[in-house]
C-alpha cells in the first residue's frame, strides 16, 4: 500500500478477509454482490460504500491474493543470501509449495485473475498478470549469483524456470496429477546448474 492510499478501517479489513475466503471457494468471474454480502454477514450497500464499486472490491480481492503470492516470495527471499541458492533449488522450494493440496484454491484464484487480466486490460483485473510475472522474475533473480543476474543468460534461465513452474501448475490444477507433474518439473530442473554456479 502506498502512502497516498487511505488506511482501511477495521470493518473494511474484516469484510475483505471474509470476501477473500468466499472468493477462494467461489471464484471471482461470476461474483455477485448480493450472495457475497449475505455469505459474509454484510449488505451490498455496505460493500459499495467501503470499496466504491464492484470493480473496486474485485481490485481489493486481487490485491489480497497478490499479498499471499508475495508472502510465498518473501519466504523464498529468506532462503536467499547475497550469493544466491541457485534457480534449481529455489524452483524446487516453490514447486513443493505449489503442489501442496491446501494451496489449490489460492492457485485457482491466481489463474483466474491472470487470465482475466489478459482479456480485460482496462478493468479491475488490469495489470495483474504482468505484475505477477515481474514479481516472480525479480525474486528468481535473487536466487542467482550476482554475476549471473544481469546477463541475458540469467534472464533466459529464470524465464524458463517461471514458464516450467507455471505450466506444471496449470496441468496440476487441471488434472490433480501431482506425481506426473512433479516428475516433469524435476526433469527440467535437472538441466539447470545445482546451487550457486560461476560463469566461465
The pLDDT assigned to 193 comes to 64
The pLDDT assigned to 163 comes to 96
Percent of the chain residues past pLDDT 90, beyond the cut: 48
Does residue 2 register a pLDDT over 50? no
Mean pLDDT computed over 133-140: 89
Mean pLDDT computed over 2-14: 72
Q: What is the tens place of the pLDDT at every residue in 16-44?
A: 999 999 999 988 877 899 999 999 999 99
Indicate the pTM of the whole model.
0.77
- Given a contact cutoff of 8 angstroms between Cβ atoms, the answer to whether 100 and 194 are in contact is no
Mean pLDDT computed over 117-137: 88
Compute how many other C-beta atoms are within 10 angstroms of the C-beta atom of residue 152.
7
CATH superfamily of 10-189: Tetracycline Repressor, domain 2 (1.10.357.10)
Q: Hunting for cell 460493500 — which residue is that?
A: 47
C-alpha span between 109 and 61 (Å, rounded):
10
Triad 75, 169, 61: Cα angle to 5°: 65
The pLDDT assigned to 90 comes to 85
The pLDDT assigned to 88 comes to 87
Q: At what angle do helices 54-78 and 44-51 cross, to 10 degrees?
A: 60
Nearest Cα residue to 140 out of 40, 111, 132, 48: 132
Amino acid at each position: 500500500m502506498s502512502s497516498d492510499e487511505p488506511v482501511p478501517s477495521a470493518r473494511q479489513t474484516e469484510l475483505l478477509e471474509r470476501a477473500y475466503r468466499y472468493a477462494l471457494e467461489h471464484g471471482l468471474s461470476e461474483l455477485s454482490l448480493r450472495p457475497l454480502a449475505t455469505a459474509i454477514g454484510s449488505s451490498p450497500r455496505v460493500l459499495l460504500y467501503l470499496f466504491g464499486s464492484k470493480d473496486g472490491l474485485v481490485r481489493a480481492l486481487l490485491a489480497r491474493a497478490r499479498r499471499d503470492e508475495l508472502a510465498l516470495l518473501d519466504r523464498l527471499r529468506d532462503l536467499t543470501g547475497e550469493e544466491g541458492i541457485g534457480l534449481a533449488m529455489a524452483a524446487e522450494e516453490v514447486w513443493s509449495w505449489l503442489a501442496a493440496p491446501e494451496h489449490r484454491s489460492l492457485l485457482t484464484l491466481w489463474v483466474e485473475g491472470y487470465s482475466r487480466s489478459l482479456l480485460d486490460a482496462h478493468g479491475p483485473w488490469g495489470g495483474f498478470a504482468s505484475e505477477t510475472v515481474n514479481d516472480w522474475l525479480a525474486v528468481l533473480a535473487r536466487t542467482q549469483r550476482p554475476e549471473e543476474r544481469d546477463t541475458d543468460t540469467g534472464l533466459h534461465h529464470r524465464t524458463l524456470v517461471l514458464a516450467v513452474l507455471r505450466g506444471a501448475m496449470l496441468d496440476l490444477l487441471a488434472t490433480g496429477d501431482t506425481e506426473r507433474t512433479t516428475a516433469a518439473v524435476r526433469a527440467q530442473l535437472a538441466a539447470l546448474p545445482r546451487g550457486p554456479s560461476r560463469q566461465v
